[in-house]
Each structure stands twice: as structure tokens, then as C-alpha cells.
């Protein structure tokens, strides 16, 4: 990504710029435009991938990922409200997106508990909340002024355009701090996959572990969404692809994160250079993810899992 653009720079020039040397034209293009864009895709892709894997594994359902059960919609609704109604700065929009994602998952978790925690109930409530929040987003777009509409649509598309180094710090900190914590919980995550009763009999504090996993994953994905917008289907695709590549039987947290990185960076390159017009990364990942979602629904329906 550092090499490609309107001007293609040789590797030696990129290395010279990264080492601190000033090269006319190249320094601005690489340090100001391409490097922040690449880092945003790298850390956001990792966050989306690892968080999606946690949800799918913990809830034992490939549909149980932040895209489908409404978490990213919560972040998006909050962000669009701050853009179109409050006309807030980009920093406040990012904070609103994080808070929106956290509030959404708290509401989902409270409604899904009942007398006992239910995975099916959580997924159904999440899908319902997503539909409601998507309607809110549509309404906000309809009533927004013409000057706010492009910013809102660009944010909703999921894009690495305009990434700035100073805005990446919260995402970098979140990924670096929460990834080791999730890796430590990886053993308990694998046990939770065996079911509620089995996990409890093996000494896992299911409620506390689940809350820790949910909060950590939601913080990571909400901050990623606040940075790049909701890049569609990365959290949905990363886990299954990692399981296919590495195999099932142990925690694939890190492989899922790395698959997420490759999906985002590859989709961004395709969106920039494969077509006559440039498309946001979220449009490309949506094109890749939608057929898989349809295939998964058909397969689950045939197995009687729906």
C-alpha cells in the first residue's frame, strides 16, 4: 500500500522516507496519506477479525457477529446522529460511536438474560435491535441537510480515506491492550464453545468470563468502527476463514485477526485500483461477504439450525 497510488514509488524511496529522509513529493504522499491509511486498515482489520471470532466462538453460531446482531449498527446510529443533528467534530463522532456500541451490547445482554442466559435469545434480540437502529439511521439520513449527508454516507460505507495518524492512537492502544487479555481468555473461550453446562462443570465462571469477553470485544470493535466506519462483513468472514486455514481444535484468535487485516487491506487495494472509479473498502468487503451470508443461511436452513 505504501508503494501504490497515483504515483508508484520504488521500495528504496519508501524505506528512505520511513527512515526520516525528506524526499520531495514522496514524503508527503507516504507519511501523510498512505501510511495512516495502511495502519488504519491494519489495526481496524485486526480488531474486526478478532472480535468477530470471539462472538462466533463464544455464542457457538456463525451468525453471532457484531455486523449481524446490531453492535456496529449501534455505533453507526450514534455517529450519524452526531454528524447530522449535532454537527459535531470528528473526535466527538468517534466518541459517540464507541458509546453507541457499548450501550447497544448492554441492552442486548440485559434483554437476553431472562432467568438464564440464552444464545438464541441474544441473537434474535440483536437482529431486532439492528433492524430498529438501521431504521433510525435511514430516518436521520432523510432529515439531514445536504451538507451533512456526504460525511454521513462516507462514514457509513466504511472507508480508510482521510485517515490521520493522530486519530489512530485510541485504536492502536485498544488493540495492543485488549488483544493479550483476549488471548489469556482464549482457553476459557474454547471451553465456553462446549456449552453452558460443560463449561460450568469444568470450573469456568461462565457469566464473568462471558462479560469480560463481550466487553473487551465490543470496546475493540467500537473503537475500530469509530476510526474507519463499519467495514462490512470483516468480522463475519475472518473467523471461518481462519478456522479453514489453521484448523479447529484450539484458539484461532490471532489467525482471525490476521485474516481480518488481509481482508481489509486487500479490499482497499481492490477498491482503489481494480475499477474505473474508486470505492470505499466497506463496499468491496460487502460484495465479498454478502454471498457467503446467503450460502451460510441456506446451509443452516438445510441442517435445521434456523
Rounded to two decimals, the pTM is 0.86
Residues 6 or more apart whose Cβ sits within 8 Å of residue 283: 157, 158, 271
The pLDDT value given to residue 305: 55
Q: Which letter does DSSP use for residue 8 in this model?
A: P
Name the residue among 206, 223, 219, 182 with its Cα closest to residue 105.
219
Confidence of residue 29 (pLDDT cuts 50, 70, 90): confident
Q: Is residue 233 part of a domain?
A: yes
Mean pLDDT of 249-266: 87
Give me 293's grid cell.
451470508
Measure the CA–CA gap between 61 and 69, rounded to whole angstroms. Answer: 11
Residue that the C-alpha cell 468480522 belongs to: 235
- Give the CATH number, domain containing residue 236: 1.10.3470.10
Q: Domain for residue 122, yes or no? A: yes
- Tell me the three cell numbers of residue 8: 508508484
Range of the domain at 79: 39-302
- Whether residue 110 lies inside any domain: the answer is yes
The answer to whether position 23 is within a domain reads no
Q: How many CA atoms lie within 13 A of 29 on its CB side?
A: 15
Number of folded domains in the chain? Answer: 1
Helix axes 35-58, 253-273, angle to 10 degrees: 140
Assigned C-alpha cell, 235 = 468480522
The mean per-residue pLDDT over the stretch 285-291 comes to: 82
Contact between 192 and 199 under an 8 Å Cβ cutoff? The reply is yes
Over pLDDT 70: what percentage of the chain? 88
CA distances from 213 to 77, 170, 218, 263 (A): 23, 19, 8, 23
Which long-range contacts link 193-202 to residues 24+ away (Cβ below 8 Å)? 193/57, 193/58, 193/60, 195/60, 196/116, 196/117
In the DSSP assignment, the letter for residue 27 is H
pLDDT (tens digit, 9 = 90+) per residue, 187-209? 777 777 666 677 677 667 677 87
For 63-102, give the DSSP string: T-STTTTTHHHHHHHHHHHHHHTS---HHHHHHHHHHHHH
pLDDT at 179: 92
pLDDT per position as a tens digit, 37-67? 889 999 999 999 998 888 888 877 777 777 7
Look at residue 25 and tell me if it is in a domain.
no
Residue at 115 is within a domain: yes
Residue 114 lies in a domain: yes
Question: Does residue 15 sit within a domain?
Answer: no
Residue 64, CA distances (Å) to 37, 52, 72, 306 in order: 29, 8, 12, 13
Amino acid at each position: 500500500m505504501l508503494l501504490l497510488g497515483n504515483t508508484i514509488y520504488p521500495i528504496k524511496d519508501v524505506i528512505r522516507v520511513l527512515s526520516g529522509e525528506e524526499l520531495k513529493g514522496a514524503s508527503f504522499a507516504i507519511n501523510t496519506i498512505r501510511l495512516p491509511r495502511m495502519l488504519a486498515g491494519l489495526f481496524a482489520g485486526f480488531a474486526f477479525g478478532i472480535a468477530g471470532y470471539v462472538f462466533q466462538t463464544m455464542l457457538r453460531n456463525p451468525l453471532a457477529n457484531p455486523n449481524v446482531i446490531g453492535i456496529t449498527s449501534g455505533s453507526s446510529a450514534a455517529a450519524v446522529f452526531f454528524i447530522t443533528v449535532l454537527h459535531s467534530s470528528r473526535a466527538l463522532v468517534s466518541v459517540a460511536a464507541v458509546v453507541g456500541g457499548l450501550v447497544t451490547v448492554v441492552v442486548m445482554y440485559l434483554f437476553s438474560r431472562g432467568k438464564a442466559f440464552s444464545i438464541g435469545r441474544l441473537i434474535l434480540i440483536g437482529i431486532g435491535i439492528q433492524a430498529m437502529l438501521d431504521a433510525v439511521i435511514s430516518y436521520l439520513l432523510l432529515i439531514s441537510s445536504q451538507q451533512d449527508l456526504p460525511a454521513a454516507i462516507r462514514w457509513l460505507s466504511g472507508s480508510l480515506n482521510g485517515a490521520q495518524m493522530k486519530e489512530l492512537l485510541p485504536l492502536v492502544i485498544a488493540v495492543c491492550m485488549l488483544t493479550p487479555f483476549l488471548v489469556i481468555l482464549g482457553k476459557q473461550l474454547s471451553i465456553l464453545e462446549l456449552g453452558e453446562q460443560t463449561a460450568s462443570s469444568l470450573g469456568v465462571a461462565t457469566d464473568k468470563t462471558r462479560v469480560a469477553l463481550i466487553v473487551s470485544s465490543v470496546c475493540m470493535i467500537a473503537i475500530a468502527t469509530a476510526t474507519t466506519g463499519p467495514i462490512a462483513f470483516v468480522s463475519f468472514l475472518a473467523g471461518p476463514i481462519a478456522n479453514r486455514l489453521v484448523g479447529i481444535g484450539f484458539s484461532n484468535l490471532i489467525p482471525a485477526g490476521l485474516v481480518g487485516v488481509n481482508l481489509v487491506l486487500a479490499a482497499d487495494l481492490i477498491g482503489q485500483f481494480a475499477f474505473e472509479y474508486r470505492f470505499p473498502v466497506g463496499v468491496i468487503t460487502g460484495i465479498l461477504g454478502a454471498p457467503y451470508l446467503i450460502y451460510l443461511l441456506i446451509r443452516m436452513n438445510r441442517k435445521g439450525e434456523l
